[in-house]
Amino acid sequence: MLPLNAALFLSAILFAIGTAGVVVRRNAIILFMCIELMLNAANLAFVALSPYAGIDGQVIVFFVIAVAAAEAAVGLAIIIAVFRHAESVDIRNFSLLRW
Amino acid sequence: MILRVQQTAETVVAEAQAGAFEPILLGLIVLLPLIGFAINGVAAILAARTAERRRWSSSSHHGGSEGEADEYSNETHSVMDAEPTGVVPWTHRLPSLVAPGVMLLAFALAVANLFGMMGVELEEPIVRTYWSWIPVGELQVEAALQLDQLSLLMTLVVTGVGALIHLFSVGYMSHDPGYPRYMAYLNLFVFFMLVLVLGASFPVMFVGWEGVGLCSYLLIGFWFSEKANADAGKKAFIVNRIGDFGFLIAMLLIFVDLGALGYVEVFERAPQLDYAGPVVTAICLFLFLGAVGKSAQIPLYVWLPDAMAGPTPVSALIHAATMVTAGVYLVVRASTLFAMAPAASLLVALVGAVTALFAATIGLKQWDIKKVLAYSTISQLGFMFAAVGMGAYVAGVFHLMTHAFFKACLFLGSGAVIHALHEAMHATHSHADAQDMRNMGGLRRYLPITFATMAIATLAIAGVAPFAGFFSKDEIVGAAWIGSAGELPLSQASLFGVGGGTWMGMIAILLSIAAFLTAFYMGRLMLYTFFGPNRTGEAERQHLHEVGWTMSVPLIVLAVMSTIGGFFNVDSLVPIVNLFSPFAFGGDAALHNWLHPVIIGAEEVWASNTAAIPEVHHASWPILLAILVGVAGLVLAAVVLKPQLLGTPEETPAYEGNLEKVLYNKWYVDELYQRIVVRPVWGLSRAFYSVVDRGTIDGIIDGVLGRGAMLLGLSAGRVQTGQVNTYAFIIIVGVIVVLGSIVVM
Amino acid sequence: MTLDFASQADYLLALLPEIVLSLWAMLVLMVDVFQKGNRVEASRPVVAWLSLAGLVVTAAANGWLLTIEEAAVTGMVAVDSFRVFVNFIVLIAAALAILISIGYLDRRGINRGEFYALLLFATVGMMLLGAARDLILLFLALELMSVALYVLVGFDRRDPRSSEGALKYFLLGSFSSGFLLYGIALVFGSARSTNLSAIVPLLPSLQESPMFLIGAGLLLVGLAFKVAVMPFHVWTPDAYDGAPTPVTALMATGVKAAAFAAFIRVFAVGFAGIYNEWSVVLSWLALLTMFGANLIALTQGSVKRMLAYSSIAHAGYLLVAVLAANAYGAAAFLFYLLVYTLMTAGAFGIVIANSRGANELNKLDDYAGFGWREPLLGAVFSIFLLSLAGFPLTGGFIGKLYILRSSLEAGNVELAVSLVLASVISYFYYLRVVVVMYMRPAPAEEANRTVLLTGPGQLAMSVSAVAVLALFFVPGWVLDVAQRSVASLFTVPGTFFGLGP
Amino acid sequence: MLRSYLPLLILLGISAAQAVGMVVVSQVLSPTKWTWVKASPYESGIDPLGSTRERFSVKFYVVAILFIVFDVETVFLIPWAVVMREVGVAGFVAAAMFIFILTVGLIYEWRKGALEWD
């Protein structure tokens, strides 16, 4: 069996990569992918913890997957709507709202 | 005259009958004006709707904003701009009935309560609790009304004078497009004023306190399109915030140190505090700060003359008879606390006396008839504060009452004059100033009733016997002389190292001079307005005529009250005054006996903390002096001033010589404030404006702090770049800080 | 009736209001889509009224909840009067949002039935959020609410501002969900459960576990994001500004109420045992929020955006109540939440009334003369603004008074003083609007402006204003109810603010 | 315990090797001769019209988004199918409610015309 720490470590690294991606990337789609990465890092943590903390962890993952799918559907729709205005998904172009 | 010993026999009777009196519909007295407000408010909203519609349709016909400017104009225009259509909409007719109606009903109820209460000698106030208002832990504040001799007296004044002024307003304002709104505000004002005087605790009083301030603000800015009016409203609002701050702090201190806010509990526990200690002194000083703001005393008086921008009946009701006296009421209400703080009391008296003289000097050289009366009001309020500060609480309340009569009469009379003049000028399309006395003169031929009533009120304010002002003003000045002889409890106190007796001697002199000046400037006002040749203009003269009954009846009633109002408190112990004893109402020194239960707390404080005072000597020379200054002032005015030589504003300069210039410019206090407060703030704001192109704030609402805060806010707001990456970065920083601190803790 | 959650069917009863509202939302969706199919046209008014009816029915079901009680407090959903109180606030917020959107949506050409259905779904999410006693249910409720709101914010696809607001809200919202979820995972790993009632007894042993503390910290971040506490507020002004105004009103009121309720349940009730760990940092965040938001609000030229910052500032005030750590604090919190919901939704309603056509620009100058042009709405707006500032004669004053008192009681003098100072700052920008509204004459071209708030909206505003005033004069019974609702939280083992079970 | 996954791992390895191997082998063994015709995109023998970077119809997105949602929902149904007998009526009711909600969504899609291509 995989050591727990290793799995958690991997999940933490994935989470950190996702977080860093949100800060540094400019493309809205990539940003969204980074966020999905964060959610999946959490999923990984749940799965890795479930032998130790209870089967609930695996159930939770199903919910998270479903939620992520809903978010993806809405998110992509929003990005399309934005793209129609700006002809671009570069988030640097979106600063009508500020200050 | 202040420390009258209550007859024991009466006290016994009182105890036997105490509790026999039940207040009659106490809540309804307060509620009636609110009902009136609700009805008139609905009418106002509907009227505004139709007015808007008409404005739009008419502006589309003969486009342009001209019609709009006419719609809400300043006093000199809109008072008379009657609807040419002839048909008065119901929204304008209903308030004429409702507004004075509810006031008369409320007054009738108050009178009923008076008769009920006169039968018994009430020792303890009656508190009616309606619901639990702020119940949090020890802070239990009830929504309760308190009926006692003082609050009933105030209620009578507010509803009585209020009813008359409402009636006057029917004639004065009914042609104004905003008439229903005006009546709604006026009713709302009376509601809050009644809450103020009838409330059973400081927070309830504060509700009324804030409420009357709000209504005053609304009514001053009633003709809002004039920038000056709007500014005046704003000024009143800001100055009153300073006063409210004092009130709030005082409430906080009272709650912290006494654990209660209801009057009964507070005054029961007040003697537990250290006599003349810092706590009670601080409480009183903060309360006084509140009173200074509301009652327009030095240094916060500047808003009151500007408040004359509102309609004249408003000036009469709010800025002369009722709201501005709330500060005096507050001091009398808290007399037990003020008795505990002799230094604070002396300061109150001193501020009052200085204000009385200071404002009277300014009144000497004003040409605007309402401005004269405004400074006169400030001056008279100074008399009241001098009285209550010296511990002569009854004298202060007495003057409050008589002042309400004669000053309301004077204001309404000036309103009638302005109304008549304006009507005449309107008929000939003249644009002369209807409030400038240089445009008046000889009006007694055209406005006989107004002249007669105002003349009576002038005699009253000048202190000519036997008119109302003579008795009340004499009591105040007399108290000061007695105090200077060391015969008042406060004579034993000291302020700034100077004894109370010395202070009171100075106060007596200040007040005597002020009384003399009062008589002089009132004589001047009457001479220039009603005597000499008429300066209104040839064409206009044809159109001058007396006002209608709704306006003359209140004038006559108030004139009668100004004549007989003094007989409510004729003291047989005072020489000369006791000549009028046969005519006294309600027995000897009726008001003293009536109010005695209210100020007994203060007397007990003095009894246990000051050396006993053997006996009060009432000399006759102060009374003679008081009569003399009043008559002398009037006579001097008649001799010195030559109304027949006066010209119109174009011919007569506003002032001649340096002293007149200083007085005309009100001692340059506004300019001083402008220079030391407003201008630096503006300078900073200009500089700021040029740096950052966002000068969205106007006026002095934002001070130096405001600008600094803006700068800080702007720089803080710069993190809101609109960039998702930046936002995410800020969040990450926050996450790290939160996690770090949680793990470290 | 007593529920023990042993049988799954009991959950159907415990969740009755949420189930009713979900079904109703589907009904609304179906009514709309069957009525007009895929044609692009405005929905019938019946859709809005049907949605309102759904809220009323839900409110009835919510009231019914008071009659049932739980055998044990181990369920995923709480059945207590705290939840009922929060549900009522959320329902009021949703009802106000619907009332002010009638007419407004037509004006912007976005009157689609989906708007109302989504709004109801978001409301379901808020209600669940206030009921969640299990972190997973919390996450699901939060997402249900958020996903619906992402769409609502970007509902006007043709408006670049709306879309941009939605994009930012979506990206940052799911970003913060990631933190929340990871926090739940860590809490789950260290406490071996996501159920608060299971976690609470373990707190003494978990106090030293870094994994648990970091998990709790991430949870704090996730919730702080939703209630818009600085510095996690960054999305708020943009999303509020871009969103159609009724949605802004809902976000500022319902979302905040629900997220704060969850905050109380998780931190004040659940993690009360580690109060010392989270209170310090939260105090600093409260300070930052109160001062930062009020200062930035000073500089805003747009009234809508100013109100957005004002709602952030109010999150700071509410945090002071949460941090007061006593019974009055929690009761003051609920009381203030109610006043806040009424006055904030009301203020946004006026923003709608004064916006020009489809244009959402709401500059301060656009309010010149508004008080005279619309006497009723002007007066109502003044009441809301004064209440937001905490002026006496309004419910906002009493609410702040309660919070202050509870804070002083708890010894948080600095927080109390800061609250007073911060609200003094806020006076400037609230009063500025009142001054402009009454003291500056309207430009001539304003004369032909029409009322942009329909009858139902005006009625809702007036009722809210009267309620705000009433909460000043008779706050007693509401406070009483609030105190009793708070007491119901103690059914959870563990201490609540030192009151104890 | 991990041993039970060994066949899976072997399968994975074989399929990966096969996929990579086919590409590599074809690259290595085939003659490579570059011509314009060969390099051009093959569109059933017709010359390419316009740029290949043309935008897709938004309908593709709609379908894709719908697919994501409905596809993922099956993750709830499969576990239920596995343990259907154990969870009994309660499980059935729960699954029925779930499917009911999905159906409402489906009806909405259908009425909105999202299922029709034109």
- Show which subunits contact B, needing at least 3 CB pairs below 8 angstroms: A, C
Structure confidence by residue, pLDDT tens digits, B595-605: 888 888 888 88
Region A80-85 average pLDDT = 84
Q: How many CB atoms lie within 10 A of CB B109?
A: 20
Asked if omega into C231 is within 30° of 0 (cis), the reply is yes
Taking CA atoms, B212 is separated from B209, B275, C364, in Å, by: 6, 33, 28
Taking all residues of chain C, what is their mean pLDDT, rounded to a whole number?
84
The pairing of strands B126-136 and B494-495 is unpaired
Of D90, D101, D111, the CB nearest to C33: D111
Nearest-Cα distance to chain A for C70, in Å, is 23
The C-alpha atoms of residue D118 and residue C12 are separated, in whole angstroms, by 42
Amino acid symbol at A47: V
What's the confidence (pLDDT) of residue B405? 93
Q: Name which residue leads in pLDDT, B500 or D5.
A: B500
What's the confidence (pLDDT) of residue C71? 65
pLDDT band of residue B228 (cuts 50, 70, 90) is low
Q: How far is CA B57 from the centre of its chain?
A: 42
Q: Is the pLDDT of residue B652 over 80?
A: no
Q: Touching check for B718 and chain A: CB below 8 Å?
A: yes
Taking all residues of chain B, what is their mean pLDDT, rounded to a whole number?
79
Amino acid symbol at C375: P
Region C394-401 average pLDDT = 86
Taking CA atoms, B243 is separated from B296, B342, C108, C423, in Å, by: 10, 21, 47, 18
SS (H, E, C) A24-41: HCCEHHHHHHHHHHHHHH
Closest Cα to residue C396, out of C289, C307, C314? C314
Cross-strand bridge partners of residue B134: B141
SS3 of chain B: helix, strand, coil, percent, to 5:
75, 5, 25
What's the confidence (pLDDT) of residue B558? 93
Q: Is the pLDDT of residue C61 over 80?
A: yes
* pLDDT cut 70: percent of chain D above it: 81
Number of domains in chain D: 1
Residues C180 and C136 sit within 8 Å (Cβ to Cβ) = no
The C-alpha atoms of residue D35 and residue C104 are separated, in whole angstroms, by 63
Structure confidence by residue, pLDDT tens digits, B542-597: 778 788 888 889 999 999 999 988 888 887 777 777 777 777 777 777 888 888 88
Q: Touching check for B131 and chain C: CB below 8 Å?
A: yes
Closest Cα to residue B40, out of B99, B104, B87? B99
Q: Which of B230-234, B277-281, B455-459 has the highest mean pLDDT?
A: B455-459
What's the confidence (pLDDT) of residue B565? 86
Nearest-Cα distance to chain C for A3, in Å, is 14
Q: Touching check for C37 and chain D: CB below 8 Å?
A: yes
What's the confidence (pLDDT) of residue C345? 92
What is the CATH number for D105? Answer: 1.20.58
The C-alpha atoms of residue C130 and residue C86 are separated, in whole angstroms, by 6
Structure confidence by residue, pLDDT tens digits, D9-60: 888 889 889 889 988 888 888 877 778 777 776 667 666 666 666 666 667 7
Residue appearing with tokens 């979106």:
A94
The C-alpha atoms of residue B586 and residue B599 are separated, in whole angstroms, by 19
What's the confidence (pLDDT) of residue B716? 64
Q: Is the pLDDT of residue B12 over 60?
A: no
The C-alpha atoms of residue B421 and residue B436 are separated, in whole angstroms, by 10
* pLDDT cut 70: percent of chain B above it: 79
Region C285-294 average pLDDT = 88
Q: Name which residue leads in pLDDT, B68 or B674.
A: B674
Region C1-16 average pLDDT = 74
Q: Is the pLDDT of residue A18 over 50?
A: yes
- Which C residues 237-276 touch B at CB under 8 Å? 237-238, 276
Region D81-100 average pLDDT = 87
Q: Which of A47-56, B415-424, C176-185, D109-118 has the highest mean pLDDT?
A: C176-185
What's the confidence (pLDDT) of residue B77? 39
Number of domains in chain C: 1
Region C161-183 average pLDDT = 91
Q: Is the pLDDT of residue B704 over 70?
A: no
Query: Please, what's the b/e burial string for D51-67 (b: 16 or more CB within 10 A of its CB; e: otherwise)?
Result: eeeeeeeeeeebeebbe
| Cα separation of the two ends of chain D | 53
Q: Which domain holds residue A20?
A: 4-97
pLDDT band of residue B116 (cuts 50, 70, 90) is confident
Structure confidence by residue, pLDDT tens digits, C250-270: 999 999 999 999 988 888 878
Structure confidence by residue, pLDDT tens digits, B182-197: 899 899 999 999 999 9
Number of domains in chain A: 1
Residue C342: inside a domain: yes
Structure confidence by residue, pLDDT tens digits, B331-377: 999 999 999 999 899 999 999 999 999 888 888 888 888 989 999 99
pLDDT band of residue B691 (cuts 50, 70, 90) is very low
What's the confidence (pLDDT) of residue B404? 93
Q: Touching check for D90 and chain C: CB below 8 Å?
A: yes
Region C441-452 average pLDDT = 62
Q: Which domain holds residue D72?
A: 2-43+54-112
Residue B718: inside a domain: yes
What's the confidence (pLDDT) of residue B52? 55
Residue appearing with tokens 């919730």:
C223
Question: How many residues belong to chain C?
Answer: 501
Number of domains in chain B: 1
The C-alpha atoms of residue B111 and residue B104 are separated, in whole angstroms, by 10
Residues B338 and B433 sit within 8 Å (Cβ to Cβ) = no
The pairing of strands C69-70 and C2-3 is parallel
Q: Is the pLDDT of residue C308 over 50?
A: yes
**The token pair that represents C474 in the structure block:** 């008779």
Q: Is the pLDDT of residue B11 over 90?
A: no
What's the confidence (pLDDT) of residue C329? 77
Residues C120 and C72 sit within 8 Å (Cβ to Cβ) = no
pLDDT band of residue C222 (cuts 50, 70, 90) is very high
Residues B301 and B362 sit within 8 Å (Cβ to Cβ) = no
Residue C472: inside a domain: yes
Q: Is the pLDDT of residue C139 over 90?
A: yes
The reply to whether residue B722 touches residue A23, judged by beta carbons under 8 angstroms, is: no
What's the confidence (pLDDT) of residue B8? 41
pLDDT band of residue D90 (cuts 50, 70, 90) is confident
What's the confidence (pLDDT) of residue C294? 85
Q: Touching check for A22 and chain B: CB below 8 Å?
A: yes
Q: Touching check for C23 and chain D: CB below 8 Å?
A: no
The C-alpha atoms of residue A87 and residue A89 are separated, in whole angstroms, by 7
Residue C470: inside a domain: yes
Q: Which of B98-112, B415-429, B682-696 has the highest mean pLDDT?
A: B98-112
Helix, strand, or coil here: C118? helix
Residue B572: inside a domain: no
The reply to whether residue B181 touches residue C328, judged by beta carbons under 8 angstroms, is: no
Q: Is the pLDDT of residue B707 over 60?
A: no
Number of Cα atoms under 13 Å in the Cβ half of residue B202: 26
Structure confidence by residue, pLDDT tens digits, B41-90: 888 877 766 765 555 454 444 433 333 333 333 343 343 444 444 567 78
Could you write out the DSSP letters of every residue in B486-500? T-SGGGG-EETTEEH
Q: Which domain holds residue B740?
A: 674-744
Residue B259 region, left (φ>0) first, then alpha (ψ -120 to 50), else beta?
left
Q: Which domain holds residue C146?
A: 2-489
Cβ-based contacts of A19 with chain B (< 8 Å): 728, 732
Residue D118: inside a domain: no
Residue B605: inside a domain: no
Residue appearing with tokens 């703030």:
B681
pTM for the full model? 0.73
What's the confidence (pLDDT) of residue D53? 64
Residue appearing with tokens 């609200």:
C423
Cβ-based contacts of C402 with chain B (< 8 Å): 136
**The token pair that represents B231 in the structure block:** 């500014």
Of B48, B709, B735, the CB nearest to C179: B735
- Which B residues 688-727 touch C at CB under 8 Å? 694, 696-699, 701-702, 706, 709-710, 712-714, 716-717, 719-720, 722, 724, 726-727
Q: Is the pLDDT of residue B16 over 50?
A: no
